Amino acid sequence: MIIVMRANATKKEIQDVEERLYSLGFKTHPIYGEVKTVIGAIGDKSSIDASSISHMPGVEAIVPIMKPYKLVGRELHKEPSVVDVGGGVKFGGKELVVIAGPCAIEGEEQIYKVAEAVKASGAKILRGGAFKPRTSPYSFQGLQEEGLKLLYQVKKELDLLVITEVVDTRDVELVSRYSDILQIGARNMQNYRLLSECGKTKKPVLLKRGLSSTIEEWLMAAEYIMSEGDSKVVLCERGIRTFETATRNTMDINAVAVVKELSHLPIIADPSHGTGNWRYVSAAARAFVAAGADGLIIEVHHDPQNAASDGPQSLKPEVFDELMQGLRPIAQAVGRTL
């Protein structure tokens, strides 16, 4: 529920309401506006007599939250969120954010080559997988901590923010030491223990949509992260599983408009995993920018034919550069910059 405080409510009155809610087992999320403060109360409302709160000094009204995703939805937080991930990079603002890099970190030479290329083309964040959950247990599983160290080394030397996937609750603390943003992949979207552990770090989290997940299930997964006090969540549409086999997945461009209506969180798109074929990546990327996505995450590799992972969907650096040039006028047409 939402407790709307009067315009003249004092700090003590607001604090008293929060303390009362906390004593009743609620988590409180105050939002301080220019005129009024509202307090989001998350918990079991059946255990409380609303009148005991509504009669407290400074309280104007109590409004129920109808959606199951209390913190993610727009009922409590009506304005779009801008997620600051550090280094002046913000998701959800006027500037589109492009994340680019290889699916997997394979070695020092490879990650440096790709990082230098994507930065020169305008990418603000370097992606690179150190832990790679693969369909086959015999496929390349990543360099793990060695890969994280290489990613961190590149971050420092090239002044790039970095993002990498965390796949196990046991690795959250380790990955958090090296990465600016924690990525939760499609296979782990409903790994609720992992979502909660990532939320406890208070680091920015990129949450990919599950392979067969509805938008509501996706938003509920984000709720797990935010319920731990982490407001820095960015959603990522990466295609869903349908009957179509011409592409790896089916990109759900509708998700951008639907998410922006239901949630205040920024949303980006992953056309690399969505299409599974480098030939279609640029077209899908342009479509998502036109549809209002707040950014993109794109796989880039200097030698895709010999990539350890996801070579067929990776752009060569020169193709990525062409894509970035082509995206700028589209971004401008929808009131964004790149």
Query: What CATH number corresponds to the domain at position 12?
Result: 3.30.70.1140
Q: Look at residue 72 and tell me if it is in a domain.
A: no
pLDDT at 48: 75
Tell whether the model's pLDDT for residue 154 goes beyond 80. Answer: yes
Kindly give the residue spans of alpha helices, DSSP state H, lying in 60-123.
108-121
pLDDT at 313: 96
Q: What is the pLDDT of residues 82-130, one digit of tens each?
A: 999 999 999 999 999 999 999 999 999 999 999 999 999 999 999 999 9
> Are 215 and 294 contained in the same domain?
yes
> Are 163 and 25 contained in the same domain?
no
**Amino acid making up residue 294:** D
Q: How many CB atoms lie within 10 A of CB 245?
A: 6
> Are 207 and 248 contained in the same domain?
yes
**Amino acid making up residue 323:** L
> Are 127 and 59 contained in the same domain?
no
Q: Look at residue 74 and tell me if it is in a domain.
A: no
Residues spanned by the domain of 172: 83-333
Tell whether the model's pLDDT for residue 38 goes beyond 80. Answer: yes
> Are 200 and 267 contained in the same domain?
yes
Q: Which helix (H) or strand (E) holds 153?
A: helix 145-158
DSSP code string of 293-334? -SEEEEEB-S-GGG-SS-GGGPBPHHHHHHHHHHHHHHHHHT
Q: What is the mean pLDDT of residues 175-193?
A: 97
Separation of alpha carbons 46 and 66, rounded Å: 14
Give 249 or 308, the one with higher predicted confidence. Answer: 249
> Are 27 and 93 contained in the same domain?
no
Mean pLDDT across the chain, nearest whole number?
94
pTM reported for the whole predicted model = 0.90
Q: Look at residue 71 and tell me if it is in a domain.
A: no
Q: What is the mean pLDDT of residues 44-61?
A: 83
Given 63, 98, 114, the domain boundary residue is 63
Cα separations in angstroms, 276 against 130, 158, 199, 327: 20, 29, 30, 20
295-299 and 97-101 beta bridge pairing: parallel
Q: What is the pLDDT of residues 204-228, one digit of tens each?
A: 999 999 999 999 999 999 999 999 9
pLDDT at 289: 98
pLDDT at 42: 85
> Are 59 and 88 contained in the same domain?
no
Determine the 3-state secondary structure of 136 from DSSP: coil
> Are 125 and 273 contained in the same domain?
yes
Q: Above pLDDT 90, what percent of the chain? A: 82
Tell whether the model's pLDDT for residue 142 goes beyond 90. Answer: no
pLDDT at 36: 87
Q: How many domains does the chain have?
A: 2
> Are 15 and 127 contained in the same domain?
no
